[in-house]
């Protein structure tokens, strides 16, 4: 047995509720084993909340939509290039002794995540993305901002995801990681349904204010996210 969170969209900040679900876990690294675990998790969740619509967001999802929404596959499109949320996230890390390693934008998602420099450059001190600096606190602020912005750009996917209200990521273990694409997806859906998406994405500061309740800070100057 295992325990994993399912992130359910709610109407108030932080716009998600983490619901822990105990389910039968199928060990092994194959896609088939991962998908058995996903099905087990969803079955248990649906028994608890039969009115909720759940979607697995990961490269192991049995849903084409869920695979497309994985940070490994969800793409950012700028005027000059296309790269995944995962590549953008990893390439934005600034360490004591190096970074940001923007060459990771030209790598595959898997290559970017496994780049040895991310573990050999000392302590993580901030994020730098599109000439904008992001603090480490709140801990999942930059990742959620990046994912929600990117999903908003992908209109076809955004149109489909709002048909769901609960999201899982079989690979995510809250004991080992902070950032979660399922959580970010729940935030996106909540903001969309509350008609707060446009306001939240006006600037980094507005995202902090709307999602995290942090008062607006004037020195959070904003550049258009996809202008580069």
Mean pLDDT over 134-156 rounds to: 97
Judged against a pLDDT cut of 50, whether residue 44 lies above it is answered with: yes
Q: Is residue 132 part of a domain?
A: no
| Residues 47-78 pLDDT 10s | 999 999 999 999 999 999 999 999 999 999 99
Query: What's the token pair of residue 3?
Result: 């325990």
Residue numbers of the domain that contains 31: 2-74+153-207
Q: Give the model's pLDDT for residue 217.
A: 60
- Cα 153 to Cα 133: distance, rounded to the nearest angstrom: 21
Q: Is residue 134 part of a domain?
A: no
- In which band, very low, low, confident or very high, does the pLDDT at 110 lie, cut at 50, 70 and 90? very high
Q: What string of DSSP letters covers 7-56? A: EEE-SSTT-EEEEEEEE----SSSHHHHHHHHHHHHHHHHHH-TT--EEE
Judged against a pLDDT cut of 60, whether residue 220 lies above it is answered with: no
| Residues 22-33 pLDDT 10s | 999 999 999 999
- Cα 157 to Cα 151: distance, rounded to the nearest angstrom: 7
Greatest alpha-carbon pair distance for the chain in Å reads 50
Judged against a pLDDT cut of 90, whether residue 161 lies above it is answered with: yes
Q: What string of DSSP letters covers 159-228? A: HHHTT--EEE-TT--TTT-S--HHHHHHHHHHHHHTT-HHHHTS-HHHHIIIII-PPP-TT-----TT--
Q: Give the model's pLDDT for residue 27.
A: 93
Q: Is omega for the bond preceding 34 within 30 degrees of 0, making it cis?
A: no
Judged against a pLDDT cut of 80, whether residue 10 lies above it is answered with: yes
Q: Is residue 92 part of a domain?
A: no
Q: Is residue 109 part of a domain?
A: no
Q: Give the model's pLDDT for residue 215.
A: 79
| Cα-to-chain-centroid distance, residue 16 | 13
- Cα 58 to Cα 183: distance, rounded to the nearest angstrom: 12
Q: Is residue 46 part of a domain?
A: yes
Judged against a pLDDT cut of 60, whether residue 224 lies above it is answered with: no
Whether 106 contacts 204, CB under 8 Å: no
Q: Give the model's pLDDT for residue 228.
A: 41
Q: How far is CA 227 from CA 1, 127, 224, in A?
A: 47, 18, 5
Q: Is residue 65 part of a domain?
A: yes
- Cα 5 to Cα 23: distance, rounded to the nearest angstrom: 11
Mean pLDDT over 151-173 rounds to: 98
**Whole-number average pLDDT of the chain:** 94
Judged against a pLDDT cut of 50, whether residue 99 lies above it is answered with: yes
Give the phi and the psi of residue 20 in degrees, each rounded to 5.
-75, 130
| Residues 77-91 pLDDT 10s | 998 999 999 999 999
Poorest-pLDDT segment among 34-38, 152-156, 213-217: 213-217
Q: Is residue 58 part of a domain?
A: yes
Q: Give the model's pLDDT for residue 124.
A: 98
- The tally of domains found in the chain comes to 1
Q: Is residue 8 part of a domain?
A: yes
Whether 71 contacts 63, CB under 8 Å: no
Q: Give the model's pLDDT for residue 64.
A: 98
Q: Give the model's pLDDT for residue 9.
A: 99
Q: Give the model's pLDDT for residue 155.
A: 98
- Reduced to 3 states, what is the DSSP secondary structure of residue 77? strand
């Amino acid at each position: 047995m295992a325990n994993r969170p399912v992130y359910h969209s709610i109407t108030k900040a932080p716009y998600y509720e983490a619901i822990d679900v105990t389910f039968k876990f199928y060990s092994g690294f194959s896609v088939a084993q991962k998908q058995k675990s996903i099905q087990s998790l969803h079955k248990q969740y649906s028994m608890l909340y039969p009115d909720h619509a759940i979607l697995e967001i990961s490269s192991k999802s049995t849903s084409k939509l869920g695979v497309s929404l994985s940070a490994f596959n969800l793409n950012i499109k700028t005027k000059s290039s296309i790269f995944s949320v995962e590549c953008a996230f990893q390439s934005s890390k600034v360490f004591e002794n190096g970074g940001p390693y923007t060459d990771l934008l030209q790598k595959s998602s898997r290559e970017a995540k496994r780049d040895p420099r991310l573990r050999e450059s000392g302590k993580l001190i901030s994020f730098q993305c599109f000439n904008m600096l992001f603090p480490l606190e709140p801990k999942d602020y930059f990742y959620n901002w990046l994912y929600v912005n990117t999903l908003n750009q992908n209109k076809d996917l955004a149109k489909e995801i709002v048909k769901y209200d609960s999201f899982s990521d079989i690979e995510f273990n809250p004991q080992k990681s902070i950032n979660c694409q399922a959580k970010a997806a729940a935030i996106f859906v909540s903001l969309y349904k509350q008609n707060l998406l446009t306001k939240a994405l006006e600037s980094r500061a507005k995202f902090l204010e709307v999602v995290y309740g942090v008062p607006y800070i004037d020195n959070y100057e904003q550049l258009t996210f996809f202008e580069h």
